[in-house]
Structure 1
Amino acid sequence: MGSSRILTVTQVNTYIKSIIEGDRKLNRIMLRGEISNFKSQFSSGHFYFTLKDSESSIRAVMFKKYASTVRFTPENGMSVVVSGDISVYEKEGQYQVYCTDMMPDGIGSLALAFEQLKQRLSEEGLFNPEHKKAIPQIPKRIAVITSKTGAAIQDILSVLSRRYPVAEVILCPVTVQGADAPASIVNALGAVNRLNDIDVIILARGGGSYEDLFCFNDEVVARAIYDSKVPVISAIGHETDFTIADFVADLRAPTPSAASELAVPELTELQNRLHQLGRQLNVSYAEQFSKASTRMNLIADNFYAMSPLKKLKGHYEQLQNDTVRLNSVMINKFAVKQNQWLYYTDMLDALSPLKVLQRGYALAYKNNRVIKSTGEIHTGDQVTVRIADGEFDAKVL
């Protein structure tokens, strides 16, 4: 080995890492594989797993910054497509893919991601009927969010112009397929909600494969529909296609054409209905007028009987009768009280000391007190004697 340079393990791993990271073919790659050995570190928020195909495997890591953006729960056996860079974990000399994005791949994985998101949003209450906004019966301004080149917009405009041509239609073109579609749809929903006097939104896309429609199963799209202040009618794919957007929307239509029919009334039917209501109003008016006339005649016939003058006359007569009756009662009560007074006066008069004196009796006083017993006087006492017509002094002998 003599003069050969001796390297450390760290130097070798660092060198290999620099070679791999310098290879553009290994930067920003998209890698398809099946997940195995999946571990989610709850404390750190990182994902650690192995990505494999039928012949080989590679370790993978997804740090919290990117793992938090994954809209489904990765599981072992799920086929996914990840985006990221190949690099080396120097400590163990292990090359691996550092993922920045992850999407389910294949019908099975997409269906699993769909069910996971559907269950989670349902538990949060995003599908509950009480959150559904009513679709206005006669909208004036309708926003249509769809591709500007697809068949859906033509079907929608055709039905709207036939059924209700007086409505104003505002087209908001968006991407309806691929990785950029969710953000495009969310931005359009936000823009429509910032406009004035939009009555209803039609979110539509024509038919396509399960994968083509999967952007309408994105969580950010679902939450944007839920947060919309304007009612949303979803019309994604064909009648048998169901997306998360359909569950969150205020009303689901099986097709874009059906969405137009649900959004607006038939103008001719509306006009016929107005004519019918006009006729009903005329009939009702005539009936009410007839009833009012009959009632007025009845009131006129009974006016005198119900007139204030007649009522006043009746009250006056009643007052006179009450006055006579009151006077009679008062006279009777006065006579009774007068007789009682005379009776008690006679009794008091009969018991008066003056009446006794008039019959020849006298009252003797000593020191201004009536003498009631011989024991109260003695020989030689001076007393005063009162008789009916006066009084005089006397001396006891």
Structure 2
Amino acid sequence: MSEDRYLTVTALTRYMKRRLETDKHLKDIWLRAEISNFKHHSRGHMYMTLKDDGARIQSVMFAGQNKGLKFVPENGMTVLIRGEIGLYEPQGQYQLYIKQMEPDGVGALYQAYEQLKEKLEKEGLFSPEHKKPLPAYPEHIGVITSPTGAAIRDILTTIKRRYPIVKVTVLPVSVQGERSAPSLVHALSYAEEHDFDVLIIGRGGGSIEELWSFNEEIVARAIHRVSVPVISAVGHETDFTISDFVADVRAATPTGAAELAVPAQEELQHRLAQLRNRMQYVISQSYRQEANRLAKLRGSYAFRYPEQLLRQKEIELDKLSDRLARAGTTAVSTRRQHFTTLVNRLALVHPGKQVQNYGQQLAVLQNRLQQAMVKRHEREQQKFFHQINKLSLLNPLETMKRGYSISYKQETLLKSINQVTEGDDVQIHLADGTIDCIVKEVKEDTNG
């Protein structure tokens, strides 16, 4: 058999690759399938397995195709896919290269809306504790919207009608298209750096595609970063965007946003009239009370009989003067007695007097100490002589003077005949010297 009939694996794989890539039916495939084993690579490519009840196929959507996705694919999600079949040569495996993908049964934009809403809600961007209160009487309002739409006309007309004294600055932006989201973010950053009391951001109604700029994550986070209270007014009353949830207050319409931003001058005028009436009532009541007090003062004894009152006060003044003089004399006498007492007490504790007293006490104590030392010396001397006498009685030298001796064998004290034998050298110590001896015989005391 000829060797030329055998193909290499590489040749076979390349042949299969060419056949798949040249089949026009495999160049534009439309699939409905479930996603599993989804992986979003760090380089941007998306790898996944597409499956149904009977089969599965490995698939990839490169970064160039998936960057325009409005939603994030997830495991278990059913999707509608357009792509083409290719073969990955190193593994000899055919796979699907995805060109387009969207959720099955729900639009991609709606899917992206729900995913972003869930993500931001978990992060706390919608939490009530982040909501800032609107100022009661704003001085400067920023309006972020298209300068040519109906929304800006409604907002400006409503503000001018309700609160014409407020300053309004329009921050023009694009509210639709690819550049609209960055335009909104730029306007919010500008507003943060300038002096605004409240911001209105929004546009008129439209489809979800037309309102999509207000569902972008960068816009939502920019609204959350702004320190100025933000009113979101996007679309009609039934339209809800991510911006509505992040903003401090959501208005159903642009006109509603203007009504929330400023008070109505009619209401302020009515309230002002009420305050004016209350002030006039309070002033009138105060005037009547003070008039009554004045009338009472005019009818009092002091105003009717001033001379008699003056005489009475003169007498009271004399009495008070006498009491003050007596109190002063008593106080001086008391202070003088107290001073004398302190002088006497001070004399008793004068340092010179204390030194004299302590000198006398010291002489007495020194005399007592000297007598105690003499007596103690006599007692100790008697005890010392007594101990000397006792030691003399116990001194072996004294005993030896009376005719006794002590025997040693090689510096060992002899206490028994059993310690020596005939011929041993023995030293006998007497009171006046030592005798070296040789044992000639050892005899046991038969009497003892």
Q: Same fold (TM over 0.5)?
A: yes
**Residues 298-329 of structure 1: CA deviation (Å, up to 9, x unaligned):** 9xx9xx99xxx99x966654332334566789
1:72 and 1:117 in contact (8 A); partners too:
no
The answer to whether the Cα contact below 8 Å between 2:57 and 2:96 also exists between their aligned partners in 1 is: no
Q: Over residues 232-290 of structure 1, what are the superposed CA-to-partner deviations in whole Å (9 max), with x where a residue is unaligned?
A: 10112222322221111011111111101001111233244345445545655676788
Q: Which moved more, 1:277-286 or 1:126-135?
A: 277-286
C-alpha distance in 1 between matches for 2:31 and 2:224:
34
SS of match in other structure, 2:170: strand
Q: Distance in 1 between matches of 2:19 and 2:147?
A: 49
Structure with the larger helix share: 2
- Taking structure 1 as the reference length, what is the TM-score of the superposition? 0.58
Give, in angstroms, the shift of residue 230 of structure 1. 2.0
Please list, as runs of the form range in 1=range in 2, the aligned pairs for 1:245-394 lying within 5 A after superposition. 245-278=243-276, 280-281=278-279, 317-324=326-333
Q: Which runs of 5+ in 1 are unaligned?
A: 21-25, 334-397
In structure 2, distance between residues paired with 1:174 and 1:71 = 25
Instruction: Say yes or no: does 1:173 pair with 2:182.
Output: no
The AA in structure 2 aligned to 1:265 is P
SS of 1:143's partner is strand
Q: Match for 2:36 among 35, 38, 41? A: 38
> For structure 1, which segment, 253-262 or 315-324, has the greater mean C-alpha deviation from structure 2 after superposition?
315-324
Q: Tell me how large the CA RMSD over aligned residues is.
A: 5.2
Match of 2:430 in 1: none
2:224 paired residue number: 226
Q: Is the 8 A contact 2:138 2:166 kept in 1?
A: yes
**Contact 1:79-1:109 within 8 A present in 2 as well:** no
Question: Which residue is equivalent to 1:200?
Answer: 198
Cα distance in 1, alignment partners of residues 139 and 123 from structure 2: 33
1:61 has 2:70 as partner: no
Measure, in 2, the Cα distance between the counterparts of 1:86 and 1:292: 100
Q: Aligned partners of 1:274 and 1:212: how far apart in 2? A: 44
Taking every aligned residue pair, what percent have the same amino acid on both sides? 39
Partners of 2:73 and 2:326 in 1: CA distance: 96
Match of 1:139?
138
Aligned twin of 1:372? none
Residue 148 of structure 1: aligned partner? 147
3-state DSSP class of the match of 1:49? strand
Q: Structure 1 residues 143, 90: CA separation in 2 closer, same or farther (over 3 Å shift)?
A: farther
**CA 1:62–1:281: 2 relative to 1, 3 Å:** farther
> Following the alignment from structure 1 to structure 2, what is the Cα–Cα distance between the partners of residues 270 and 284?
21
C-alpha contact 1:89 1:96 (8 A) present in aligned 2: no
Do structure 1's residue 183 and structure 2's residue 182 form an aligned pair? yes
How far has the Cα of 1:122 moved from its partner? Answer: 1.8
C-alpha spacing 1:329/1:224, structure 2 compared with 1 (3 Å)? closer
Distance in 2 between the 1:66 and 1:190 partners? 29
What letter matches 2:252 in structure 1? Answer: P
Farther-moved stretch of structure 1 (200-209 vs 38-47): 38-47
Are the structure 2 counterparts of residues 163 and 105 from structure 1 closer, same or farther at C-alpha, using a change threshold of 3 Å?
farther
- Cα offsets for 1:186-245 (capped at 9, x unmatched): 233223323x21222111222233444343222222111101122110112222322221
Matched position secondary structure for 2:224: helix
Q: Cα gap change, 1:330/1:110 in structure 2, threshold over 3 Å: closer, same or farther?
A: closer
Between the aligned partners of 1:85 and 1:232, the Cα distance in structure 2 is: 47
Which has the higher relative contact order, 1 or 2, with Cα contacts under 8 A spaced 6 or more apart? 1
Counterpart Cα distance in 1 of 2:107 and 2:68: 23
What is the SS of the residue equivalent to 2:211?
helix
**Secondary structure of the corresponding residue to residue 204 of structure 1:** strand
Matched to 1:171, the amino acid is V
TM-score by length of 2: 0.53
Equivalenced residues, count: 310
